[in-house]
Structure 1
């Protein structure tokens, strides 16, 4: 988002409702408080099939903070693969790794293939929705 954007304006631009944006972005607690540079989802994945491409193995490190990680966390929760004590956030953490390992087990991976480090095949199957940039 940039200075002057509002959630209502973004909703109108993308032909969705403000309520849909709030539903797709549970991290937004107050729709009147948004920030330049903040990233949000503007479409439900089942509506447009717009998913995040695999960001690469080096992306998943504790030094990385990205709304893609938070979107992944919410997808893991939707898939009943949560190891979060609260909820996901944008910082890669051990809870993300444990949750992703549960996803890998759900897909039938075992051993080193279920270590919690995302790979391209399991990522593609998770369907992490694209975030607004």
Structure 2
């Protein structure tokens, strides 16, 4: 019996006995926080066998806005969503964690993004904190609500 299926846009997983949200997140290369958002899960410790979870939304990520967009110092909710994903990935250079995050592209965002690039194995000028298409696509920034 298969426990995963895809629609045109989303991938679903049917929870089995013994599954945890963190294990499912690892299996589908996402985060617990993202699974909570997609599936409206209040308590990460409570999932049930037979429960159908969205584990990937194939059309729900912000496409790479381009290096010029970042050079223009944008003030956008996309920057906030990027910051939340960077925090989820453990790439945080923000003061006061989430409370210190601004929607305007700034040095804290650049430093956090540089941590993400280094986590992906980039170094030198490839880890300068300015997003590129490949690193952006791997971060999978969700559209703001």
Measured in 2, the distance between the counterparts of 1:61 and 1:114 equals: 16
Check conservation: 1:54, 1:123, Cα contact below 8 A. Answer: yes
> Of the candidates 43, 62, 81, which is equivalent to residue 91 of structure 2?
81
Aligned match of 1:3: none
What pairs with 1:43-54 in structure 2 (closer than 5 Å)? 46-49=55-58, 50-54=60-64
When residues 117 and 104 of structure 1 are mapped into structure 2, their CA distance, relative to the original with a 3 A threshold, is same
Measured in 1, the distance between the counterparts of 2:111 and 2:68 equals: 17
Question: When the two structures are superposed, what TM-score results if normalisation uses the length of structure 1?
Answer: 0.62
Check conservation: 1:104, 1:122, Cα contact below 8 A. Answer: yes
Q: As a proportion of its length, which structure holds more strand?
A: 2
Aligned match of 2:66: 56
> Of the candidates 104, 118, 123, which is equivalent to residue 110 of structure 1?
123
Larger gyration radius, structure 1 or structure 2:
2
Question: Gapped runs of 5+ residues in structure 1?
Answer: 1-16, 23-44
Deviation at 1:70, TM superposition (A): 0.5
Query: For 1:123, what is the secondary structure of its paired residue?
Result: helix
Aligned match of 1:128: 141
Q: Which has the higher contact order (CA 8 A, sep 6+)?
A: 1
RMSD, matched Cα: 2.5
Tell me which moved more, 62-71 or 75-84.
62-71
Deviation at 1:48, TM superposition (A): 2.3
Deviation at 1:47, TM superposition (A): 4.7
